[in-house]
Structure 1
Amino acid sequence: MPHAPLQTEFAPGQWVSHPQHPEWGAGQVQSVVGHRVTVNFEHRGKVLINAALVALDIQP
């Protein structure tokens, strides 16, 4: 049975944080391709996140 493509609630320009790495600070979403979200964090730099495995917190 084929699976539907994973839709994420993330969009370029959004601010997020990584729940397991608060020391990385806030991160801005750079791109979203399927479940792959590239985020540029204040204290870590660019990180490729698998949104199917990590529930990023959306910042207000």
Structure 2
Amino acid sequence: MNDLNAMLEPGMLVRNPACPHWGVGQVQSNIGGRITVNFREEGKVVIDGVVVPLEIVFDENNLR
């Protein structure tokens, strides 16, 4: 698992750099490398943390 993905916890905000149109998402769970995220524009998505490196969003007001 990507080192950053391993530290993701419920409530944290993330972005999938491969799918920027999904917007910012909130981590719902991170169990065994399977990360469930609820994205604003895409809805709930289960991500394989080994394959997809997520970016942590520290300041939701500072979006690209």
TM-score, normalised relative to structure 2 = 0.82
Higher helix share: 2
Quick check: 1:40 aligned with 2:52? no
Structure 1: unaligned runs, 5 residues or longer: 1-5
Structure 2: unaligned runs, 5 residues or longer: 59-64
Q: In structure 2, what is the Cα distance between the partners aligned to 1:49 and 1:11?
A: 14
| Number of equivalences | 55
Q: Of the two, which has the highest radius of gyration?
A: 1
Q: In structure 1, what is the Cα distance between the partners aligned to 2:10 and 2:32?
A: 13
2:24 pairs, out of 23, 26, 45, with 26
TM-score, normalised relative to structure 1 = 0.87
- Structure 1 segments of 4+ aligned residues over 4 angstroms from their partners: none
